[in-house]
Amino acid sequence: MSVALAAVLAVGVVVAWVRLWTWQRAGAAKASKTRLAILIAAQPVLAILLYLGLQPPVGGGGARQVVVATRGAVAGAGVVALPEAGAAEGAKRAPDLATALRRAGDVRSVRIIGSGLEPRDREALDGVAVQFDPPRLARGIVRVGAPAWVTAGDRFEIAVRAEAPAGVEVRLIDPAGRVVDRQTPDARGEAVLSGTARTAGAVLFTVKLGTIDTVTVPLWTRAPAVVRLLILSGAPGPEIKALRRWATDAGLAVEVRAAVGGGATLGGAVRVEPGALARTDILVLDDRVWTMLGSDGRRVVRAALRGGMGLVLRATGPLPPAVRQDWRTFGFGLQGDGADHVVSLPPAAPDDAALAARRGPGSADVPLAFAGDRAAVPELTRTGYGVTGAAIMRDKGGAMLSAWRPAGQGRVALTLVQDSFALTTSGHGDRYAEWWSALLSAVARPGDGAPPSISDRPRAGVRAVACGVKAGDRLITPRARALKLQPERGCAAFWPRVAGWYRLGERPVHVGAADADPAMQARERRDATLRLVRGDSALSQATPSHIWQSRWFWLAAWMIAAAGTWWFERRRKQH
């Protein structure tokens, strides 16, 4: 368009010259040679001013576009090559984007070629429009989401997103090299892998995408804190016996009280007191106990729940109308007839080898020889209500078996399964432990302070951020050097130089190699650079106003010059 506009204006200049020459020859009073020369010279000037008004230079005043080559691109002549890019003869090397922009002067537009900007260069684009044509994503694992930490005995999940052909399998491999889970990503390339954390410590799991890509996933397993558990039951039975046995083996401080009829109890009176509940982390009770507590007891339980205590409600059968209405006030819905329904659980692992890896070596009390077959999980009985809330466990068909909801500073959970003890008696104690560990972890009273949080997947040579740190906290490097952190508003930045395990207080921090996870790094660079193009940075939004200011400046200049030329030409006719 600019070439066509220039050609039209050039023809207009020639036509204006011909008109002036004809007018000079035909006029009765001829203009002086000086006046004619001025009018002839004014025509190209007017054309240039009109061109600049219709096609203004970006930013005006000498502003221009800079082409920057990033990782995966080769810079040619006149192109700025950042350290990660290749460079041909004539390319301009720069240590970072900020330096390149300072050297270039007045820059209003940056065109990025390659896979995108590194983190150090993204804040340099203040006041600059960004152009970026992203390359196709490389095949591989482009995103991994793992918990910051888990408690020994807990089940954990790792979310994976991959760019790969349909049908390629993604596997989770434990530190011993055994496959503990395998899944086929869905149409969006997403899959969720799971495993069980058995012992405290920091280890590296591995996620493999067929033969295409491999990434490491650090997992920090914390030793469980001593949880004070109070179990109140309306009657003794195998469910309470199995729960007490598992909780004791798991290191919980357990107290069980059960009514046996006729006013007699086992383990103490089935009642609640504010002082006792203030010292309790989790209270487990069933629908029969809820009725036995009376209005005063229920009020004490609700007050303790709002104060931070965890509460687990067990439905042992169809709920009495009063109990059902009370439990609805927690937000669980409880729609349905309450009849007993037989449910099946999904497989614990994709194959026998993965199940053996999850279970571990066994123990003297529960050797692996007594473990049940993967396909022989018993059917369980569920009370027939629909539950709303955050799911803890689902059956094979996806129906919710247990869920939790917030209540003040505490959390309350509801489980509809009446006979989870059948898992222990059929050789599936691992499933039982996984079930109740997830249930109690969801509602347990918060501990005294959480460990520091670290930015996702730190890498050597890249700025990382730790939050929840205090002045004087030190980061211990793999070479046993102590780095004193300088927190600002609870967060501090650090630049790890080498890969390996660091330690911040009690928390281990794994730093990956600078070139680790290439597909994931490429996706992160691509997405971050696209956010700059889409206007997440205020600089790309500033450029249009500069262009329009320049447009009106040149159009105003053309209007003034055209008016002056017209007056200068018509002034001759009056004389």
Q: What per-residue string of b and e applies to 343-358 under the rule 16 or more CB within 10 Å gives b?
A: bebeebbbeeebbbbb
**pLDDT value for 557:** 85
**539 has pLDDT over 50:** no
Domains 150-225 and 450-525 share a fold: yes
Categorise residue 114: left if φ over 0, alpha if ψ from -120 to 50, beta otherwise: left
**Residue 357's pLDDT band (cuts 50, 70, 90):** low
Hey, which bits of 445-505 come out as E strands? Answer: 453-454, 464-467, 474-476, 482-484, 491-494, 500-504
Architecture of domain 228-443: 3-Layer(aba) Sandwich (3.40)
Residue with tokens 């450029």: 543
Confirm if 70 and 112 have CB atoms less than 8 A apart.
yes
Query: Residue 541 — very low, low, confident or very high, per pLDDT cuts 50/70/90?
Result: very low
- pLDDT above 70 as % of the chain: 86
Average pLDDT on 552-562 reads 83
> Could you give the 3-state DSSP secondary structure of residue 353?
helix
Domain boundaries, the chain: 2-55+567-573, 64-137+526-546, 150-225, 228-443, 450-525
Residue type at 263?
G
Average pLDDT in the chain? 82
Nearest to 246 by CA among 428, 390, 371, 93: 428
Distance of CA 131 to CAs 267, 316, 540, Å? 72, 63, 9
Asked which of 183-192, 342-351, 457-466 is least confident by mean pLDDT, the reply is 342-351
Across the range 182-208, mean pLDDT stands at 89
393 bridge partner residues: 402
Rounded to 5°, angle at Cα 270 from 292 and 233: 80
- Return the top range by mean pLDDT from 67-71, 283-287, 503-507: 283-287
Confidence of residue 535 (pLDDT cuts 50, 70, 90): low
Query: In degrees, to the nearest 5, what angle opens at C-alpha 134 toward C-alphas 129 and 135?
Result: 155
Predicted confidence at residue 170, as pLDDT, reads: 94
More confident residue, 537 or 288: 288
pLDDT > 70? residue 14: yes
Q: How do residues 476-500 score in pLDDT, each as one tens digit?
A: 999 888 888 888 888 898 889 999 9
Task: Check residue 380 and give its pLDDT.
Answer: 86
Residue 543 confidence (pLDDT):
43
- pLDDT beyond 60 at 6: yes
pLDDT digits (tens, 9 = 90+) for 559-573: 888 888 888 777 655
Q: Under CATH, what is the fold of the domain 450-525?
A: Immunoglobulin-like (2.60.40)
Q: Which two tokens stand for residue 332?
A: 């669980």
Q: Has residue 409 got a pLDDT over 70? A: yes
What is the model's pLDDT at position 449?
A: 64
Q: Which residue's structure tokens are 């997440």?
A: 536
Q: Is the pLDDT of residue 304 over 90?
A: yes
Architecture of domain 150-225: Sandwich (2.60)
How confident is residue 425, by pLDDT bands cut at 50, 70 and 90? Answer: confident
| H, E, C per residue of 166-202 | CCCCEEEECCCCCEEEEECCCCCCEEEEEEECCCCEE
More confident residue, 540 or 518: 518
pLDDT at 370 over 60: no
Task: Give pLDDT tens digits for 142-153.
Answer: 999 998 888 887
Minimum mean pLDDT range among 12-16, 180-184, 356-360, 364-368: 364-368
Residue 1 — pLDDT band, cuts 50, 70, 90?
A: very low
- Residue 58: pLDDT band (50, 70, 90) is very low
- Check residue 173 and give its pLDDT: 92
Identify the pLDDT of residue 21. 79
Which residues, in sequence order, are CB contacts of 295 under 8 Å at separation 6+? none
Which string of DSSP letters, residue by residue, matches 215-262? EEEEEEEEPPP--EEEEEESS--HHHHHHHHHHHHTT-EEEEEEEEET
Using alpha carbons, list the distances in angstroms from residue 93 to 74, 85, 161, 319, 529: 11, 9, 35, 75, 21
Tens of pLDDT, residue by residue over 254-281, are 999 888 776 677 777 777 888 889 889 9
For residue 500, the model assigns a pLDDT of 93
User: What are 210-226's pLDDT values in tens digits?
Assistant: 899 999 999 998 887 78
Query: Mapped to the 3 state alphabet, what secondary structure does 276-317 carry?
Result: HHHCCCEEEEEHHHHHHHHHHHHHHHHHHHHCCCEEEEECCC
Q: Give tens-digit pLDDT for 71-130.
A: 888 777 778 888 888 776 778 888 998 898 888 877 778 888 888 898 888 888 877 788
Give φ, ψ of 259 to 5 degrees: -80, 140
Beta strand 64-69 pairing with 107-113: parallel
